[in-house]
Structure 1
Amino acid sequence: MPEVPEAPVLTALYGGTDRADAVTVAGRACSYEELLGAAGAVARRVSGMAAFAVEATASLETVAAVVGGLLAGVPVVPVAPDAGPAEREHVLKDSGAEVVAVDFAERADFGTEGAGDDGDAPALILYTSGTTGAPKGVLLSRKAVAADLDALAEAWQWTAEDTLVHGLPLFHVHGLVLGVLGALRTGSRLVHTGRPTPQAYAAAGGSLYFGVPTVWHRVVKDEAAARALTGARLLVSGSAPLPDPVFADLRALTGHEPVERYGMTETLITVSARAGGPRRPGAVGTVLPGIATRVAEAADGIGELQVQGPTLFDGYLGRPEATAASYTADGWFRTGDIAAIEADGTHRIVGRASTDLIKSGGYRIGAGEVENALLAHPAVREAAVVGAPDPDLGQRIVAYVVADGVSGQELTDFVAARLSVHKRPRAVRFLAELPRNAIGKPQKHLLPPV
């Protein structure tokens, strides 16, 4: 094994487990030694580059590419394998990176991780979803990644004794930073299922599971798969709000109350429920060590969540004005998310300021609260709520639902009976499915016009 660097991100790779299946992706397994050899070959090829890109498929090749970038001290740009031509062209042109092909069978001993790098240089350039314009490259340093993974390991009691299971995309923070680099830092065995199906999760025999709400919704619809997770230690949900009914079903079928957490590409994970602490539906827990949060310009108890801490990004690539605009004058990162912080420090995320804070008839209404009320109806499978312009109310609440055998008026009455009457939908649209991105997050900007 190579000499241990002074401050590597992937501490477990140096002197960690020698098991042959330390990392398994889509049915292919390797040891740490094999992974380091393949990553070393990548590092030799990319050494001296300003950055390089990789087709971030669910594969050992993607893992080797990212580890190789860390070895060489060269930032990696993961490209979504299903990216359209325009998106792909933008990411490659904006980052100046060329796609590097990876042969996992090729081996080389490159040496220590990030040789000559103090940790401040970017390890990854992850691109935003582009919902408010062209996707921006987010610069994440090795120090930020390490700080976040250590904080999460403490919060979730995540150790080398765990087996982490997930099937999330390897071009986002959730699947790549937490789901791959987290395992390689803590030393937990990693099983990436290729696709996050309920059957694959059930068969994996993990102690720690990561999923997005769509994954957990599908798990609870497969009772046998859900009950197979009773032997796990912790179920973690993130990347979008977990509907209250799914939380309740997981608790009933698996015996576990899922841990919810909150973060962004620009901040990594900043708030989380704890493995040994309370977990409540709709709540994402308390701040991680070293993180500070505040709610700005709060009214009715909710306002924009702002963040400071060591996990924050180093700016948007080539966009100093956008970087400056993302911070307040006194140095707090503006998340654009609307939140409430309770007296005990528990955070609840209402949604995005641009789409999920609805101002109707003088009231401030969180779309998530109305969505959860709709999802409590047995006929509703999916729900998304937005505010539409209204000459009288300012905005009226419009619900898009995937449901069978129920009318819009019934759903309106159902919500009005559970929440304040002013929070009821004024219009209900029925869809075959909601538009979602690769990690299952509803894309409200793609909903059809009201």
Structure 2
Amino acid sequence: MRDDITYRLPQQRRLVTELPGPRSAELADRRRRAVAGGVGSSVPVYAADADGGVIVDVDGNSLIDLGSGIAVTSVGAADPAVASAVAEQAGHFTHTCFMVTPYEGYVAVAERLNRLTPGVHDKRTVLFNSGAEAVENAVKAARLATGREAVVAFEHAYHGRTNLTMGLTAKAMPYKTGFGPFATGIYRMPMSYPYRDPAGQTGEEAARAVIARINTQIGAASLAAMIIEPIQGEGGFIVPAPGFLPTLAEWAREHGVVFIADEVQTGFARTGDWFACDHEGVVPDMITMAKGIAGGMPLSAVTGRADLLDAVHPGGLGGTYGGNPVSCAAALAALDSMERHRLADRAREIGASIVARLEQVAADTGVIGDIRGRGAMIAAELVHPGTDEPWHELTRAVAAEAQRHGVVVLTCGTYGNVIRLLPPLVIGDDLLADGLNVLAEAIATVAAR
């Protein structure tokens, strides 16, 4: 428990039925008859309540949440300040459309993001609904402002599920298979992946190899933008070697290429800084944000250099629901909570606890090839013992075993062999320790089968 945070629900793991329980099973049956089969879910229970670091299902089971709805509920799923702000705003109006009758909340969020994001240059912000929408509009603005068309993305990248962002995303299944053709003008470059890169390769060397390939395959004069996740999310929580991002950003600046940092998953204190770019002092030309921005309400943003975003003609950016007033109120309250509870500092504490526990598991089992991440964004890459061969079957089985015992963990990675941990930043130490113990036991149990 944290002394500075008030929890509405008991912060404990408690199972009163097998998972899924009868009520969840009933809802799963209804779902099969009503919801499209293409929508998947990681955990076979249905939520009824959530708070702090727990999710309570419809059967009364209390599960430890080590996923935060994929890095969304960083301040918890029922932060009192966020809930109060949502209720107050909804009591006045839920929508007018900022493009029709604007309102102060949108402006206030833009002002806040202009201050918080890396760099002290003149900035502008535009608000949307989802991370993919933010990415798509950042690319649109970069192409218009530069008069160029080509865009570079990276191996293992994930940027969304719209047509353009599927083209930027690297992994085919389940994100791209059967959905093409995709947007043109996209080029994929190698990512710095220290665990699998040639031994001794530095981040600067990896970046220089990318730059050489850009020069031969595209040409800097044709390149509008380079988009990269400072720590890749769905691709496996890949942290590039030091020097990789700064070298690319410097080259982009020298050649008039818009450097876009996709911080949809890494932003808002998740990595121990406000943004992952802060770790190496990288200042992007544009930054895309979503997930943790609004305490669970749908909101996303692009913040960038004023000359780039102001280059777009009026009406070229926007959307009916973009910057919804209720979501803006939630965002302002969530940002206040992050500052009040010093959640960037808390993310570092959480990360240290996770890494220490996973290192014990790695030594005991021999199936963890790499532990990586930053702050409360930590991953374990599972491999066959004595090799770096991905063990995706083990990964799926470990996640299922942990979930069976009441701990929500997520998987990711190009090879499907990465356990990723994204606990709410308001989780207490005892609850986190219990969740990590269950995960450790799941790894040991499944690996021994």
TM bucket by the smaller chain? 0.3 to 0.5
Larger strand proportion of the pair:
1
Higher RCO (C-alpha 8 Å, min separation 6) = 2
Q: TM-score, normalised by structure 1?
A: 0.33
Larger helix proportion of the pair:
2
